[in-house]
Amino acid sequence: MDRTGKDEGGELRLTAGESVTSRTSRDVLGRGLSVLGRAIREQPRIFAVAVAGSVLFGGLVIASAYVVGAVVGDVVVPAVERGSVGVAAVALAAGALFGISVLRVVGIFGRRIGAGYMQFRLQAAYRRRVTRRYLDLPLSWHQRNATGTLLSNANSDVEAAWYPIAPLPFAVGTLVMLVGAVVSLFVTDWALALVGLAVFPALFALNVVYSRRMAPRQARAQRLRAEVSGIAHESFDGALVVKTMGREAQETARFSARAGELRDALVAVGRLRGVFDPMLETLPSLGTLAVLVVGAFRLRQGAITVTELVSVAFLFTVLAFPVRAIGWVLAELPRSVAGWDRVRRVLDATGEMPYGDVALDPADPTPATLDFADVGFAYEPAEAHLPGAEVLGEVSFTVPAGATVALVGPTGAGKSTVAALAVRLVDPDAGTVRLDGVDVRQLTAGSLAGAVALVAQVPFVFDDTVRANITLDRPGITDEQAWAALRLAEADGFVAALPDGLDTMVGERGTSLSGGQRQRLTLARALAGRPRLLVLDDATSAVDPRVEAAILAGLRAPTAGGPAASILVVAYRRATIALADEVIYLEHGRVLARGTHTELLASVAGYADLVTAYEQAETDPQQQRTPDEVTPLATGLEIEVDR
């Protein structure tokens, strides 16, 4: 497959995206901080616990430096000079050092439990919100967004958005600690404090520069990661095609090219880290050395004591590591902002299909009436430069209560769209769809779902038990009713043969079932709800004619407890069509004709061609056995390849 054109397009978009990123990298910091602010506002208490723990820890780090200084200056030096050990002083010193450690454990507990819980709570909360939006937003929105994108919005994007939460309390505590350290330095000696004032802001500045430089590189890596994952997803989804056409090597080449780009992007990230990480590490060491020099001068001037000098030097050593926490937060901000933007896109998406407030009588056992009045529908164009395809125009018809109406038309005529409109999976762009005289847009959610059922062309089965797939937790569907529905759908036989009957797990997307079995299972699901209007969208295509005939007979002559439903059925088979009270013939999104099967057969040429195709093929065997008018393309190609 020629993917080069596409790849170049992707590359262009990528570079464009990157220049945007670098232009906006200045405000990534601001926006990142505002994302963090939101996190704090949402989880103030747990954040307070974490910061309290972190501040306690930070205070103790400073304290430990002064204790070590005091131990050296006030315990060790005098003891060495005296030549004797002051037991009480040494015990006090040892006790103080150990006590500080115990308190630090308390600080660590508060900080890490707080930070971890906060991060996980936010992740969970936003996963709930994002997935709620998925349930609320209309199908047209779903169709505009790739499945992979929606999956990563709810998963990795949420994770990325709250990733800096883990080191955040540590960083906040460190900031407090830095302020405390500078203050304590001023209390000790102004000259040493100046060293601190030079080193700490420099450390901070280095961190900021680092994260700014990193932002576009990380963003690029993240984008490529998504693309690599997209290729893998698609390729594994189409594994059967790849295998049957022997295209493994080409698919691997396609994957490998993008994986190579990702590798280069990640190496670029790594080189930058290689530059900054050692510098960030060395800066505090230089601080300690500066303290040694300045301290020696001040010692000579008599301004400070050895105790103070040791304390300050120790302070620089122990501060070096926590300061890195600020860098961690800053480094994660661009990813966080990018993740947050994608999450926001879902949360802010509009276009819900709100339900109305007109309720239908749930106990009404009579079949429903369905009305299409001048209905028009167009899909949004897949790409901006392409025209939006009008699928339906001025479609009007009625399914009277208790009637069966067949929808017939060539491939791509818009039949599935009519089916989707009938159960309000989508709303029309023009005209009205009415159920029992009420615009379906005015019906409550429960009313609509309770009254109508759609069996789609491609069956969707949940990774759950057979029972759950039939009942979908709708109230009042007993096992007996489930079996009755299965019988009607001719699915009772294979379900009874499953190892655990109704309790058998069907696997992801029902992989353990055959296509025909999945179809009959979804048919049983629709029947179990006793719908008043049943919409069958070519729902028996994977079922053998005999089985299909039995199913349809069951639907037409409902036994006791069977459904009394109006039926709108998309069909090709003449037996199915013959059962219909009326046939709607659709071509290019327009109702070309309506009437009984016999009427249409007599008056509409396109219809007659379509439904009698098999007989014509049979009665005209000559035509199918003399294909001289066709030049096999494949042979021609072979010649070309041989050349």
What residues from 37 to 66 belong to the interface with another protein (CB under 8 A)?
A: none
Nearer to another protein, 90 or 176 (CB): 90
Report the candidate in 42, 54, 270 with the shortest Cα–Cα distance to residue 162: 42
Give the Cα separation of 173 and 169 in Å (integer). Answer: 6
Nearer to another protein, 34 or 511 (CB): 511
Question: Could you tell me where the beta strands, DSSP code E, fall in 354-465?
Answer: 370-378, 390-399, 404-408, 430-435, 438-439, 452-455
Give Cα separations from 200 to 151, 174, 193, 281, 475 (angstroms): 42, 11, 10, 12, 65
Give Cα separations from 473 to 453, 466, 469, 477 (angstroms): 15, 12, 9, 8
Whole-number minimum distance, CB 567 to another protein, in Å? 16
Give the Cα separation of 500 and 490 in Å (integer). Answer: 18
Q: Is 383 in the site for another protein (CB under 8 A)?
A: yes
Nearer to another protein, 324 or 582 (CB): 324
Report the candidate in 182, 194, 200 with the shortest Cα–Cα distance to residue 293: 194
For another protein, the binding residue among 329, 453, 477, 604 (CB under 8 A) is 453
* H helix runs in 71-189, sequence order: 77-82, 87-136, 139-144, 147-152, 158-161, 168-188
| Residues 261-280: x where in contact with another protein by CB under 8 A, - otherwise, as a string | -xx--xx-xxx-xxx-xxx-
Report the candidate in 255, 202, 265, 261 with the shortest Cα–Cα distance to residue 21: 265
Report the candidate in 172, 180, 130 with the shortest Cα–Cα distance to residue 151: 130
| Residues 279-318: x where in contact with another protein by CB under 8 A, - otherwise, as a string | x-xx--xx-xx--xx-xxx-xx-----x--xx--xx--xx
For another protein, the binding residue among 384, 386, 557, 560 (CB under 8 A) is 386
Q: Which two tokens stand for residue 148?
A: 């992979």
Nearer to another protein, 19 or 147 (CB): 147
Give the Cα separation of 413 and 592 in Å (integer). Answer: 11
* Segment interacting with another protein, rule: CB under 8 A, options 78-86, 196-204, 366-374, 591-599: 78-86
Give the Cα separation of 255 and 457 in Å (integer). Answer: 32
| Residues 397-436: x where in contact with another protein by CB under 8 A, - otherwise, as a string | ------------xxxx---x---x--xxx-----------
- In this structure, are residues 453 and 482 in contact, taking their beta carbons and an 8 Å threshold? no
Nearer to another protein, 21 or 119 (CB): 119
Q: Is 339 in the site for another protein (CB under 8 A)?
A: no
For another protein, the binding residue among 191, 349, 449, 592 (CB under 8 A) is 449
- In this structure, are residues 50 and 118 in contact, taking their beta carbons and an 8 Å threshold? yes
| Residues 6-25: x where in contact with another protein by CB under 8 A, - otherwise, as a string | x-------------------
Backbone region of residue 424 per phi and psi (left: phi > 0; alpha: psi in -120 to 50; beta: other values): left
Q: Is 79 in the site for another protein (CB under 8 A)?
A: yes
| Residues 501-540: x where in contact with another protein by CB under 8 A, - otherwise, as a string | ----xxxxx-xx-xxxx-------x---x--------x--
Positions 204 through 243 that interact with another protein (CB under 8 A): 225, 228-229, 232-243
Nearer to another protein, 33 or 286 (CB): 286
Positions 138 through 197 that interact with another protein (CB under 8 A): 139, 142-143, 146-147, 150-151, 154-155
Angle at 465 between CA 464 and CA 471, to 5 degrees: 95
Q: Is 579 in the site for another protein (CB under 8 A)?
A: no
For another protein, the binding residue among 8, 11, 27, 248 (CB under 8 A) is 248
Positions 607 through 626 that interact with another protein (CB under 8 A): 609-611, 613-618, 623-625
For another protein, the binding residue among 31, 127, 212, 213 (CB under 8 A) is 127
Backbone region of residue 473 per phi and psi (left: phi > 0; alpha: psi in -120 to 50; beta: other values): left
For another protein, the binding residue among 203, 343, 456, 466 (CB under 8 A) is 456
For another protein, the binding residue among 136, 341, 361, 364 (CB under 8 A) is 136
Q: Which residues contact 230 (CB under 8 A, 6 or more apart)?
A: 146, 148
Whole-number minimum distance, CB 30 to another protein, in Å? 27
Give the Cα separation of 15 and 261 in Å (integer). Answer: 13
Q: Is 574 in the site for another protein (CB under 8 A)?
A: yes
State the residue for tokens 């105790």.
Answer: 307
Positions 90 through 119 that interact with another protein (CB under 8 A): 90-91, 93-95, 97-102, 104-105, 108-109, 112-113, 116-117
Q: Is 551 in the site for another protein (CB under 8 A)?
A: no
Nearer to another protein, 250 or 478 (CB): 250
Whole-number minimum distance, CB 27 to another protein, in Å? 27
Nearer to another protein, 24 or 512 (CB): 512
131 SS3 class: helix
Entry field: residues in the chain? 643
Positions 483 through 502 that interact with another protein (CB under 8 A): 494, 499
Q: Is 582 in the site for another protein (CB under 8 A)?
A: no
Whole-number minimum distance, CB 23 to another protein, in Å? 27
How many of the other CB atoms lie within 10 Å of CB of 248? 12
Nearer to another protein, 23 or 286 (CB): 286
Q: Which two tokens stand for residue 276?
A: 């900054």
Whole-number minimum distance, CB 342 to another protein, in Å? 15
State the residue for tokens 């990528």.
Answer: 14
